[in-house]
Amino acid sequence: MLKSWKSVEPYLLVTPQTLVFLLFLVFPIATIFIVSFWEFTGYSMTPGFTLENYRNIFTSQVSLATYLNTFKFVGLVWFFTLIIGFPVAYFLAFYIDSLRWQIILFLVCTIPFWTSNIIRMISWIPFLGREGLLNKLLMGIGLTSQPIDIFLFSDFAVVLAMVHLYTLFMIVPIFNSLMRIDRNLIAAAEDTGASGFQVFKEVILPLSQPGIAIGSIFVVTLTMGEFVTVRLMSGGQAASVGYLIRNQIGSLQYPLAAANAIILLIVTLAIIFGILRTIDIRKEL
Amino acid sequence: MANLTRRQLLRTGLAAGAMVTATQCARGTPNNPAPGPTVNTNQTKDVTLRFIGTGVSQINEIRQKAEEDLGFKLEMRALSTEENNQIAITQAGQYDVFDGEYFSLPLVVPSGNLQPVDVSRITAFDQIVPIFTTGQLYDGAKVNSSQGTAPHRVMFLTDQESTEFAPEPTNWATLIPFQYNADTLGYRPDLVGREITSWGELFNEEFRGKTSILDIPSIGIIDAAMVVEALGLMTFGDKGNMTREELDQITQILIEQKRAGQFRAFWKTFDESVNLMSSGEVVLQSMWSPAVTAVKAQGIECIYAPLQEGYRAWGGGIGLSRNLSGIELDAAYEYINWMLDGWVGAFLGRQGYYSAAPENAKKFMSQAEWDFWYEGKAATEDMIDPFGTKLESAGAVRDGGSFNDRMGNVVVWNSTMDEQTYLVQKWNEFVAA
Amino acid sequence: MITGTTQQTQAVSRPDVAFVHAEGVMLRSLTKKYGSFVAVENINLDIPAGSYCCLLGPSGCGKTTTLRMIAGHEEATSGDVIIGDRRVNDLPPAKRNTAMVFQNYALFPHKTVRQNVEFGLKMRGVKMSDRAQRVNEMLEVVGLSQFGDRKPTLLSGGQQQRVALARALVTRPQVLLLDEPLSALDESLRVKTRGELRKLQRQFGMTFIQVTHAQDEAFSLADQIVVMDHGHIDQIGIPTEIFSAPASRFVARFVGDNNIFMGKVTHVTPDTHAALIQLQVDRLGTFLCRGQAADVGMTAACSVRADRMVLKPHTTDSHTPNHLSVRIATVEFTGYVTRVSLVLEATGEEALYKVRTEDWMAQPLQEGQSVVLGWSTEDCIFLSH
């Protein structure tokens, strides 16, 4: 009796997680996958098997342009979150000694998440808008005589808002990596004559790569599927794949949306795979 | 309507959609236990009616007043137009009462999720504005020949079991009208500096980078059509039901305008349009009436321009879920009759919407209120909305004038087109350009 | 060299890989404070060029801080660090002609053994061809030539330690600083590595300064032992001095196997070498010991090594000047030496007696037996503090 309990125990322990995984991840994705092959004419869709949805996407100039635009956002957001997030993580890890202050400063980094998207967008207007602080400042110091429109409702604004939001996802894993670097390694590098820059290049940067990789995965995945920020900050004038899918769902075009979602998923996974092939993150896990 | 057969296709499509959504939600959807005649009494006290609708109509004050007057409970869910339609079509178990727009009906009705409203049980039905029943407001009114999914075209079904729209009034209604209004362009007179009298001004270079358009494909495209028609760039057979060629052409024009930097932004929600306008980022845009009111409430001048080409209008109403029966159904009819009784109409009137039965609403409005909102006369006292905000000072006149001037000049209604899919595709092209 | 293969032993003795120049290290009034906590207080120390010096003490005594101040990884709060004839306080670590072997080695995990060893040369801009040659030499010295392309994590602890040594030695420092280099190794490897360290130091001729908490390590390696406690130096001396003539109760206790008795000085008789001192120990009687700087009436202690005592049955008539009645508690054979735990009959305190096992076997006593513990005046060292 006891023996048989022992043998089923491990299976019982993993059952809830497995069920959650199957029910809320595998099953929905499988459903989306199946629906992406359904036939779709006008407003109706019928179970079946057609590659028309995919053919549609692959031959459409709009989806190509939309994917390129999404990649542009991903690339820019990734780049800026990295060059902004790394120094912040570095500062937190190497210049802040007390855990208390590290936590407080981390909370400061989460401030962008304390408000809703719409509130955030509203609050960008007085800053970036035509009459906004930034334009007033630039005009005040004589750098420009006309208000600059591209600060808001532009690709610039989209990238700015996403960088503002997602830098935290870069900071945390990089911070984690940096905290794991034995401080003696840095002392050892200095001891053998490495300059500050050499210590960074030879020791800190290589050892923070797993953190950069994990942060990149977060940022890339979040940005690939992003549509709310894209819509609000571009004033609806820029497209992203997520936004395209959302519009299709909104118009009840489920098979098209499903096919797009599957392609987005595959593209995102391919990028993650590429990152993992480049950098070994096992040490972080 | 010749295109009805086409729309029949929806039935399969939406049923399949329902299945997908249902499976995606697994077994988690809180299906209401089927309302049955288990309570052996006429009392509807224990009933809770579950509403779905857009934020515009799901108002707490109305719910409270209804519960107080009727004795049963209402549960309201405020959704976006898109979500509202999706739930109506795919999640029949989630609602008892559908509060939606007429132009959604070509999508919702074929799903079979609505049961027709028995007109004979609606006491004030004969007081409903004829826009909804015959489509004729008064002789010579533009609205009589308006394009698009005009409410009277989708108001009635051929019989109780049918999902086919009847061209003439029958005893079986799809929705009982709740509120409606005429939409147009709003502008900031302080920043525009002159009077705006035509839709064509939206593409005027004078306002380059300072205009905006509504980013809901099926509504935005009609606003765009009003603009290009006003400018003489295009003519349409039916702005509410464009052909592929028309869609190609208008999208091309929109893309050119976008590339030239005509638009500052596109808006999708009420709040966005208010912010764009009040911040001065945009000085001229397609707008909803309460958004204009909200801008004014901030002390900023904003005019809801009566334009020479006329208005684009919309109407919303109350429909019944196929699941309703027994005392729940009775309760729903009680609610509809209460809704037409006037209190709600007055409540809506004070916000600038129109009531389905204006004469009843009048009973609950002051003379000054009636004169201002419906008659287009100068306000003899400050106009206060139901939430206590002052909307207009004494002496003000409603933009566009009286009910007849405004609703009579409606030339097109919010629509679901035959080429809806193509429209969305073209609209995505526009956004991505 | 640790695994002791012929090849490796040969490598270590390569005469061409050696440098003769070494520098001495002087610390003058060196102090390190962390806020109000004083880690190292006013240390003065001369370490001769080419010697092997061990900083010995328990954890927290300030020995590692001292080492890191010499290396330049800690900034001195006050005082001077002088290497050769240069005051180096304001120089970065790499400019001090020192190299450090870190506790747990601090090898770069993302670099191969070769890249680790090469690191210092690369940072100093040594030409690629010279680099390769010097790295190869160094890997040969530590016997790791065949492991050059491995990552350090794939090596054993002993091999990692040798990589760390090679990395430090390859820049040809005048002073090599070692922070507990043996503590991560197991016992047998530690003993072996000790010998190799000493051999390396002789071969290269540079000054070695090593931090350790293990007295046997210090005894076996050092020319000079510096015993530290609470940020102070308690005693500086050659290993035999530290062992046979501890200068304080702390040193006597820390170097181990000493019996210490606290008491009051009752009489001092000056003598040529060391005064003869009478120490009145509460409830145990008066002991005679040798020492300096004693004043009558002061509280002090005496210490006697456990192996310099004798244990005799009560029946014996001839007693040493100092003796006590004790009971044998336990007898522990440890091989060459037998350790006997005793309980003082007058106080119940414990004492330790060590004897060659051979001698014990010749005259064994029983556990529980009451006997007399005695020791001579010459073996009884007076400790003023």
Cβ separation C110–A193 shorter than 8 A: no
Q: Helix A61-94 crosses helix B420-432 at what angle (to 10 degrees)?
A: 50
Percent of chain A with pLDDT over 90: 43
Instruction: Identify the pLDDT of residue B166.
Output: 94
A182·C106 Cβ contact <8 A: yes
B112: domain CATH number is 3.40.190.10
Count Cα neighbours of B112 within 13 Å in the Cβ-side half-sphere.
11
Residue B290 sits in the same domain as residue B418: yes
Last residue of a domain, one of C221, C244, C267: C244
**B110 and B217 co-located in one domain:** no
Cα-atom radius of gyration of chain C, to the nearest Å?
25
Q: Are residues C276 and C151 in the same domain?
A: no
Q: Are residues B102 and B145 in the same domain?
A: yes
Please tell me whether residues C239 and C262 are part of one structural domain: no
Count CB pairs under 8 A between chains A and C.
61
How many domains does chain A fold into? 1
Among candidate residues C244, C268, C294, the one where a domain is terminated: C244
Rounded-to-integer distance, Cα B118 and Cα A110, Å: 55
Whether residues C168 and C231 share a domain: the answer is yes
Query: From C164, which residue of chain A is nearest by alpha-carbon distance?
Result: A188
Domain presence at residue A202: yes
Q: Please indicate whether, in this complex, the C-beta atoms of C110 and A190 are within 8 angstroms of each other.
A: no
The C-alpha of A62 sits at a distance from chain B's nearest C-alpha, in angstroms, of 5
B144 and B15 fall within a common domain: yes
Whether B353 is covered by a domain: the verdict is no
Which amino acid is residue C112, in one-letter code?
Answer: T
C119 contact residues in A (CB cutoff 8 A): 189, 192, 194, 202
**Any domain includes C250:** no
Please indicate whether chains C and A are in contact, defined as at least 3 beta carbon pairs under 8 Å. Answer: yes
Mean pLDDT in residue range A107-117? 80
C319 inside 8 A of chain A by CB: no
A42 pLDDT above the threshold of 80: no
Give A-chain residues touching B14 at CB under 8 angstroms: 43-44, 252
| Domain termination residue (choose one: C186, C218, C244) | C244
- Residue A25 in any domain: the answer is no
Joined tokens for residue C176: 């090599």
* Res. B249: pLDDT tops 70: yes
Q: Are B291 and B273 in contact (CB under 8 A)?
A: yes
Contact yes or no for B9 and A35 at CB 8 A: no
For residues B215 and B291, state if they share a domain: yes
- Residue listed under structure tokens 């392309």: C149
Q: Is residue C177 within 8 Å of residue C197, measured between CB atoms?
A: no
Query: Do C152 and C290 belong together in one domain?
Result: no
pLDDT for C318:
65
Give the β-pairing of B311-321 and B176-187. antiparallel
Closest CA to C119 of C111, A187, C127: C111
**Quick check: is C80 in a domain?**
yes
**In terms of domains, do C190 and C299 share one?**
no
pLDDT-based confidence at residue B373 (cuts at 50, 70, 90): very high
Of the candidates C73, C110, C167, which has its C-beta nearest A192's C-beta?
Answer: C167
Phi (first) and psi of residue A198, to 5 degrees: -65, -40
Q: Could you report the predicted ipTM of this complex, rounded to two decimals?
A: 0.78
Nearest residue to C231 (alpha-carbon basis) of C29, C23, C2:
C29
Which chains have at least 3 CB atom pairs separated by less than 8 Å from chain A? B, C
Chains C and B touching, counted as 3 or more CB pairs less than 8 Å apart: no
Q: Name the phi and psi angles at B191, rounded to 5.
A: -100, -25
- The answer to whether A234 contacts B271, with C-beta atoms less than 8 Å apart, is no
* Predicted confidence (pLDDT) per residue in A131-162, tens digit: 888 888 888 888 888 888 888 888 999 999 99
Residue C181 dihedral angles phi and psi, to the nearest 5°: -70, -20
**What's the token pair of residue C13?**
């003795």
Q: Are residues B15 and B96 in the same domain?
A: yes
Of residues A7 and A220, more confidently modeled:
A220
Residue B52 CA to residue B89 CA, distance in Å, equals 12
Say if the Cβ atoms of A193 and C168 lie within 8 Å: no
pLDDT score of C9 more than 70: no
Q: Which pLDDT band holds residue C246 (cuts at 50, 70, 90)?
A: confident
Q: Are residues C116 and C173 in the same domain?
A: yes
| Residue of C64, C65, C73, C116 for testing the chain A interface, max A β-carbons within 10 Å | C73
Percent of chain C with pLDDT over 90: 35
- Cβ separation C94–A191 shorter than 8 A: yes
The predicted pLDDT at position B224 comes to 96
Give the closest-approach CA distance of C2 to chain A in angstroms: 23
Residue A192 with chain C: CB contacts under 8 Å: 94, 99, 119-120, 123, 167-168, 171
The token pair at C131 is: 């680099």
User: What mean pLDDT value characterizes chain C?
Assistant: 86
Cα–Cα distance, B17 to B21 (Å, whole number): 6
Question: Which positions in chain A touch B26 (Cβ < 8 Å)?
Answer: 23-24, 27
A188 to C108: CB separation less than 8 angstroms, yes or no: yes
Cβ distance of A182 and C119 shorter than 8 Å? no
Residues of A in contact with C167 (CB under 8 A): 188, 192
Least trusted range by pLDDT, from B145-149, B348-352, C35-39, C368-372: C368-372
Q: What are phi and psi of C295, to 5 degrees?
A: -120, 145
CB-closest option in C100, C107, C123 to A198: C123
What is the per-residue DSSP string for B407-423?
Answer: HHTEEEE----TTHHHH
pLDDT in tens, C23-35: 889 999 999 999 8
Look up the CATH number of the domain holding residue C155: 3.40.50.300
Inter-chain CB proximity C93 and A194 less than 8 Å: no
Average pLDDT over residues B62-87: 89
A259 domain residue, yes or no: yes
- Give the Cα separation of A182 and C325 in Å (integer): 55
Residue pointed to by tokens 């053998």: A192
A-chain residues within 8 Å CB-CB of B271?
Answer: 118, 122
Q: At residue B22, does pLDDT exceed 70? A: no
**Interface check C75 vs A, CB under 8 A:** no
One domain for residues C211 and C333: no
Q: Which residues does residue C212 pair with via DSSP β-bridges, in sequence order?
A: C56
What's the domain range around C262?
A: 257-383
Please determine, for residue C57, whether its predicted confidence score (pLDDT) is greater than 80. Answer: yes
In Å, how far is A174's CA from the nearest CA of chain B? 34
Q: Does residue A162 form part of some domain? A: yes
Confidence band of B15 (pLDDT split at 50, 70, 90): very low
Q: What is the DSSP string of B254-298?
A: HHHHHHTT-EEEEE-SHHHHHHHHHTTS-SEEEE-HHHHHHHHHT
pLDDT-derived band at B164 (thresholds 50, 70, 90) equals very high
B168, part of any domain: yes
Extended beta strands in chain A, E state = 39-41, 44-46
Contact by Cβ (8 Å): B36, B326? yes
B209 Cβ contact list (under 8 Å, min separation 6):
A149, B261, B262, B263, B264
B418 and B319 both lie in a single domain: no
Q: Which residues pair with C27 in a beta bridge?
A: C45, C81
CB-based contact, C94 to chain A, within 8 Å: yes
Give yes or no: residues C275 and C237 share one domain.
no
Placement of tokens 């019928």 in the chain: A46
For residue B190, being part of any structural domain is answered with: yes
A196–chain C Cβ distance below 8 A for any pair? no
- Nearest by CB to residue C99, choosing from A191, A194, A198, is A191
Look at A41-45, A63-67, B199-203, C103-107 and tell me which has the smallest mean pLDDT: A41-45
Asked whether residue B127 carries a pLDDT value surpassing 50, the answer given is: yes
- Three-state DSSP state, C258: strand
Angle ∠(C173,C176,C182) on CA atoms, nearest 5 = 145
Are C270 and C214 in a shared domain? no
Q: Which of A38, A66, A232 sits opposite B432 (nearest CB)?
A: A66
pLDDT for residue B221: 95
- Cβ neighbour number for residue C66 with a 10 Å cutoff: 29
pLDDT, average across residues C256-273:
83
Q: Which two tokens stand for residue A278?
A: 């480049």
At C269, is the secondary structure helix, strand, or coil?
Answer: strand
- Pair C215, C273 in one domain: no
Domain limits for position B152: 4-21+47-174+313-340
Q: Does the pLDDT of residue B106 top 70, yes or no?
A: yes
Q: Which residue has the higher pLDDT, B33 or C68?
A: C68
Q: For the segment B287-299, what is each residue's pLDDT rounded down to a tens digit? A: 998 899 889 888 8
Which residue among A118, A247, A251 places its CB closest to the CB of B271? A118
Q: Say whether both C107 and C209 belong to one domain.
A: yes
At B312 the pLDDT is: 96
Same domain for C235 and C265? Answer: no
pLDDT band for position A44 (cuts 50, 70, 90): low
Point out the domain boundary residue: B300, B324, B340.
Answer: B340
Closest CA relative to residue A158, chosen from A95, A87, A72? A72
Residue C203 lies in a domain: yes
User: A68: domain CATH number?
Assistant: 1.10.3720.10
Q: Is the pLDDT of residue A109 over 50?
A: yes
Instruction: Flag whether residue C96 sits within 8 Å of chain A, measured between CB atoms.
Output: no
**Could you tell me if B167 and B221 lie in one domain?**
no
Mean pLDDT of A28-36: 92
Query: Nearest residue of C to residue A188 by CA position?
Result: C106
Is C110 close to A207, i.e. CB distance below 8 A? yes
Q: What is the CA radius of gyration of chain A?
A: 24
- Determine which of A167-171, B236-240, C227-231, C279-283 has the lowest per-residue pLDDT on average: C279-283
Under 8 Å CB-to-CB from A174, ≥6 apart: which residues?
A: A85, A86, A89, A90, A208, A211, A212, A215
Q: Examine the domain organization and report whether B136 and B231 are in the same domain.
A: no
Distance of alpha carbon A95 from the chain centroid: 27
If 0-12 CB within 10 Å is exposed, 13-18 middle and 19+ buried, where does residue C150 land?
Answer: middle
Strand partners, C228: C233
pLDDT in tens, C292-324: 877 787 888 888 888 888 888 877 666 677 888
**Number of domains making up chain B:** 2
Number of domains forming the structure of chain C: 2
